[in-house]
Each structure stands twice: as structure tokens, then as C-alpha cells.
């Protein structure tokens, strides 16, 4: 056994790479290795001989395996050191000309929308993406039996056994930011709430994670007429069309009363969508006057204050403005798509300099 030990310990120490090390492992402790074959001979020995040979063989096998593991780790460390030396980069050297990067359309359209509403006096408000169901549903007057609260539509966070805290969800809209802003700032208030939202849906025009922007305006004498003007001005500026025409259809949302879905005039002549002309209508957003119960949840007295709210999908209006047919492409990280639809990193959208057309 001493000869076997010296033979393999020396060979392992001198192994040049992992392939040679694997060959030595097979020769020594593999199914047909020398140490394994000797262990099979234990059955032919007397009990007294096995008491001596058995522990010695096990100790030899453990020592060889330990040597193999140590050598493998040493070879891996040496390979990493060599790689780090080869891939070392002097960050003080001048940059290489690799072409200018591009801004993702979602980021660009978010900036465009923010610039338009900022000109109307709306501030940007943000909130957490993981919300309690109170902020996401209850505070927005969404009842417990509403389909939106079902697990088929909403991503609920897992809870440990015995956790009695209210359930949390990945927010399904940015409306909870409105509640938080009302609680923090009170009225009057004028904000937009852009951000990621999550719903369990996936097809050409829906993805499990998408982007939404909502608006809220509170004052003593705000009406649907103010809402109509704001949305018309936004659409004219965003789509760059003076002839934009909107249609308000009565609808129902738990958090607004009255509620209205907003359509934009369009045509599908020749299979091409054109906004601002034709006899067809395309739904682009939802809106309405804030429900009194929502105001109360935000700590606002509905007898003294009122306001309007609206919400639209950033991804959806980006598709309409820039002719992107499939929403799923926004999240596939295809550089060819981004180079085609992307925007210059230095082109910041502003009203005085012009939005991208």
C-alpha cells in the first residue's frame, strides 16, 4: 500500500491539467482502479487480515481522493489567474470605437410622456413594485370578489406558514402610487405615475410585465371637461397630429365614477393604421372622476375635493406611434430590433426641441 500511495500521490502532484488528473482518478479509485481491485480482495481474507487491511485501504482511498480534490482546485485557481492576466484591461486607455448605443423605446416613450405632462404641471411620483393588497385593491375600491384579485390574473407573493400579515402582490397597476401620494401630500395634487406593472397574461398585445403611466389631478372644481382637455392636448403633442379626435365611451372602473374609455379616431386602409383620420376608433386608455371612496382611502375629504384620473400602457402607445407590431419583441433583447427601433442616447425628448416622430 505504501508503494501505491507514493505512486499516485506523486503522479497527482505532477498532473499538468484536469484531463491527466481524471485519468489518474480512474487508474487509482475508479471501478477497475488499483485501489478498488484491492478492496475487492478483502472478501478472500481472514477476519483478522480484514481488520488490518480494510482500514488501511479506506485511509489510502480517502488520501488519494483528498489529493485529487486539492489538485483540481489548484488547477482551477491557476487557470483563473491565467485568464485574468490575459483579459486584463487598462481602463485609463482611450475608448474604442464600437458605435453609439441606443435607448430602448420604452425608456424613450416614458421620457416623451413625462415631458408632455410636465409642461401641464404634473410632477412624477413613484412607488414600490411589491404592494400590499390593501394599496393595490382595497384602497382603490376593488371588492374582494373582483376578477382582478384572482390568482389567474395577479401574481401573489408567497408567505411563510403562520405569517398573518396582509398578502402582498406584484402591483397590477401604478394606481397604488396615487394613494401613497394623496396620503403624503394631500390636495391639491397633480401627478403622473410611470412604472412597471405585472399581470398574468401573454400574447401579441399582453406580457406578464409591462409599463403603465397613470395621472391624477385633485382640486376643488376639477371636472370631466378638464380631463378631456388634458388628454386631447397630450395626444396632439405625443402623436404630433393637430387633427387628433378622441371619443369618450361610458364604462365602469371601481376606482372612478363616472368612468370612460377613450378611443382615438383612426383608419385601417390598406391594412395600415393611421391616426387622426378615417371612420374607425381605437381604444387607447381608461379614465374618469376619482371615486369618493378612493379619495377617503388617500386621506382626502371628498366633500371638499374632487379630481380625475387616467391610465394608459406605455408599451401600447409606443407600438401605436412607432409602428411596432408585437409587444413581446420589447422584452426579447434582440439587438437587431433595438438598432431598428432604438433612439439616440443623446436625443432627450423635450417640447421646445421636439419629440421624436
Task: Give per-residue pLDDT as tens, 291-347.
Answer: 999 999 999 999 999 999 999 999 889 888 888 877 788 888 788 888 888 787 777
Provide the 10 A C-beta neighbour count for residue 21. 19
| Mean pLDDT value across the chain | 86
Q: What is the pLDDT of residue 247?
A: 92
* Residues with Cβ within 8 Å of residue 343, at least 6 apart in sequence: 102, 103, 105, 108, 356
Closest CA to 1 of 51, 44, 45, 54: 54
Per cent of the chain over pLDDT 70 is 93
How far is the C-alpha of 309 from the C-alpha of 265, rounded, in Å? 22
- Tell me the pairing of strands 123-124 and 189-198: parallel
Question: What pLDDT is recorded for position 351?
Answer: 64
Q: Select from 99, 105, 173 the least CA-distant residue to 329.
A: 105
Beta strands in 159-318 (DSSP E): 168-170, 189-198, 209-219, 246-253, 256-267, 274-275, 280-290, 306-313
Taking residue 110's Cβ as centre, other Cβ atoms within 10 Å add up to 19
From the list 185, 159, 165, 174, the residue with the least C-alpha distance to 129 is: 174
By CB atoms closer than 10 A (0-12, 13-18, 19+), residue 139 is buried
Q: Residue 290: pLDDT above 90? A: yes
Cell of 247: 371619443
Band (pLDDT 50/70/90 cuts) for residue 159 is: confident
Span between the terminal Cα atoms of the chain, in Å: 82
Question: How many residues belong to the chain?
Answer: 357
Predicted local distance difference test score (pLDDT) of residue 42: 80
Q: Which residues contact residue 67 at a Cβ distance below 8 angstroms, ignoring those fewer than 6 apart?
A: 8, 9, 12, 13
The grid coordinates listed for 91 are: 481602463
Angle at 57 between CA 56 and CA 63, to 5 degrees: 90
Q: Is 203 in contact with 216 (CB distance < 8 Å)?
A: no
CA dist., res. 135 & res. 329, Å (int): 31
Closest residue by Cα to residue 213 from 190, 240, 229, 194:
194
- Predicted TM-score (pTM) of the model is 0.66
pLDDT tens, 16-25?
Answer: 888 888 888 8
Per-residue pLDDT at 152: 73
Residue with cell 393637430: 242
Given a cut of 80, is residue 70 above it in pLDDT? Answer: yes
Amino acid at each position: 500500500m505504501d508503494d501505491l500511495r507514493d505512486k499516485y500521490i506523486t503522479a497527482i502532484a505532477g498532473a499538468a491539467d484536469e484531463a491527466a488528473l481524471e485519468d489518474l482518478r480512474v487508474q487509482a479509485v475508479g471501478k477497475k482502479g488499483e485501489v478498488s481491485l484491492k478492496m475487492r480482495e478483502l472478501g478472500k481474507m481472514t477476519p483478522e487480515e480484514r481488520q488490518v487491511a480494510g482500514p488501511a485501504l479506506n485511509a489510502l482511498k480517502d488520501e488519494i481522493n483528498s489529493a485529487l480534490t486539492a489538485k483540481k482546485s489548484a488547477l482551477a485557481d491557476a487557470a483563473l489567474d491565467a485568464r485574468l492576466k490575459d483579459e486584463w484591461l487598462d481602463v485609463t486607455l482611450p475608448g474604442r470605437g464600437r458605435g453609439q448605443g441606443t435607448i430602448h423605446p420604452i425608456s424613450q416613450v416614458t421620457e416623451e410622456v413625462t415631458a408632455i405632462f410636465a409642461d401641464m404641471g404634473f410632477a412624477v411620483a413613484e412607488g414600490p413594485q411589491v404592494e400590499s393588497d390593501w394599496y393595490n385593491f382595497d384602497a382603490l375600491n376593488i371588492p374582494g370578489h373582483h376578477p382582478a384579485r384572482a390568482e389567474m390574473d395577479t401574481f401573489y407573493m408567497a408567505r411563510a406558514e403562520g405569517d398573518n400579515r396582509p398578502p402582498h402582490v406584484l402591483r397590477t397597476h401604478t394606481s397604488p402610487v396615487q394613494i401613497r401620494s394623496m396620503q403624503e401630500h394631500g390636495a391639491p395634487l397633480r401627478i403622473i405615475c410611470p412604472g412597471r406593472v405585472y399581470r398574468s397574461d401573454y400574447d401579441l398585445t399582453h406580457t406578464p410585465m409591462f409599463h403603465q403611466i397613470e395621472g391624477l389631478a385633485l382640486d376643488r372644481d376639477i371636472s370631466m371637461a378638464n380631463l378631456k382637455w388634458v388628454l386631447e392636448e397630450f395626444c396632439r403633442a405625443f402623436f404630433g397630429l393637430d387633427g387628433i379626435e378622441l371619443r369618450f365611451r361610458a364604462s365602469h372602473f371601481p376606482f372612478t365614477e363616472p368612468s370612460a374609455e377613450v378611443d382615438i379616431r383612426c383608419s385601417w386602409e390598406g391594412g395600415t393604421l393611421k391616426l387622426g383620420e378615417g371612420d374607425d376608433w381605437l381604444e387607447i386608455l381608461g379614465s374618469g372622476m376619482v371615486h369618493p371612496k378612493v379619495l377617503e382611502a388617500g386621506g382626502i375629504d371628498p366633500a371638499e375635493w374632487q379630481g380625475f384620473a387616467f391610465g394608459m400602457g406605455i408599451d401600447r402607445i409606443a407600438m401605436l406611434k412607432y409602428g411596432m407590431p408585437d409587444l413581446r419583441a420589447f422584452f426579447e433583447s434582440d439587438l437587431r430590433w433595438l438598432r431598428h427601433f432604438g433612439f439616440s442616447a443623446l436625443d432627450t425628448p423635450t417640447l421646445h426641441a421636439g419629440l421624436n416622430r
